[in-house]
Amino acid sequence: MPEGDAVYRTAARLRGALDGQVLTRSDFRVPRHATADLTGRTVLETVSRGKHLLTRVEGGLTVHTHLRMDGSWQIAPAGRRVAGGDQVRLVLANSRWQAVGVRLGMVDLLKTAEESRVVGHLGPDLLGDDWDPAEAVRRLRRTPDATIGEALLDQRNLAGIGTIYRAETLFLRGIWPWRRVGDVEDLEGVVTLARRLLDANKLHAGTVTTGDRRPANQTWVYGRAGRPCRRCGTRISRGEMGAQSQERLILWCGGCQPG
Ligand SMILES: [Zn+2]
């Protein structure tokens, strides 16, 4: 699942292809907006908010998309055939480029003035210019009995973390994922580290939290279930956390992150 850094890069690619250009084609393949037509409007900009994408167009409209589990925006020269078939949910194109949204988990068209309807619930954006660690901590503290692992994925607390950054951040801080938020002493240290990890990865594909870009060495615990911890040698554990039917993967080292 794409996390905040991947969405940030997607926004940058969409800006490069669409900003300042007049749309020559818009094709919404979702029932709700099937008749919408943005042809003739200039795209102003695309910004990311956590894992959400907002593409603002002339006339006070915003296209809101979310990649969810495995969505993507594919960008290609205008007119070229793009793979995706019946998985395509949205096409935005100008005379030079086309952006094709494949398997998008969310496609909305709304007034720019009403963006808060779709992103207003989000906590501070880890990669936003207005990142505010104190506000993220304040929001985390609202649910002292929640596990820190679940609280970090709750985008209402802070926006941009998925399962990879959750696992890596908690490992690096030595925190057992099921510890209560109220029992985590240095929440500011946790959110500041998460921000640093996302920021370090926002300009390139892949997730490197170890500082070592070689494929087998990029993470501490994520993708390493059953392998020895790079710090203490304990086998990395793998489990799931979250409410029933919403469980998400968690990896941790029982030696470095004692319960
Ligand atoms: Zn360890």
Which pLDDT band holds residue 82 (cuts at 50, 70, 90)?
A: confident
Q: How far is the CA of 238 from the centre of ligand 1 (A)?
A: 13
Answer yes or no: 2 catalytic: yes
Q: How far is the CA of 256 from the centre of ligand 1 (A)?
A: 4
Q: Choose among 96, 82, 94: nearest CA to 44.
A: 94
Which pLDDT band holds residue 153 (cuts at 50, 70, 90)?
A: very high
Q: How far is the CA of 234 from the centre of ligand 1 (A)?
A: 5
Q: How far is the CA of 221 from the centre of ligand 1 (A)?
A: 9
Q: How far is the CA of 229 from the centre of ligand 1 (A)?
A: 5
Mean pLDDT of 241-249: 89
Catalytic one among 49, 51, 166, 202? 51
Q: State the pLDDT at residue 85.
A: 86
Which pLDDT band holds residue 133 (cuts at 50, 70, 90)?
A: very high
Distances (CA, A) of 181 to 10, 48, 79, 140: 32, 27, 51, 7
Name the percent of the chain lying above pLDDT 70: 100
Q: Any residues with CB less than 8 A from the CB of 119 and at least 6 apart, and which? A: 49, 50, 52, 54, 64
Sign of CA dihedral 174, 125, 28, 84: negative
pLDDT at 246 over 90: no
pLDDT at 84 over 90: no
Which pLDDT band holds residue 243 (cuts at 50, 70, 90)?
A: confident
Measured between its terminal Cα atoms, the distance across the chain in Å is: 27
Answer yes or no: 202 catalytic: no
Answer yes or no: 77 catalytic: no
Mean pLDDT of 223-243: 97
Mean pLDDT of 130-136: 97
Q: Specify the pTM.
A: 0.93
Answer yes or no: 111 catalytic: no
Mean pLDDT of 82-103: 94
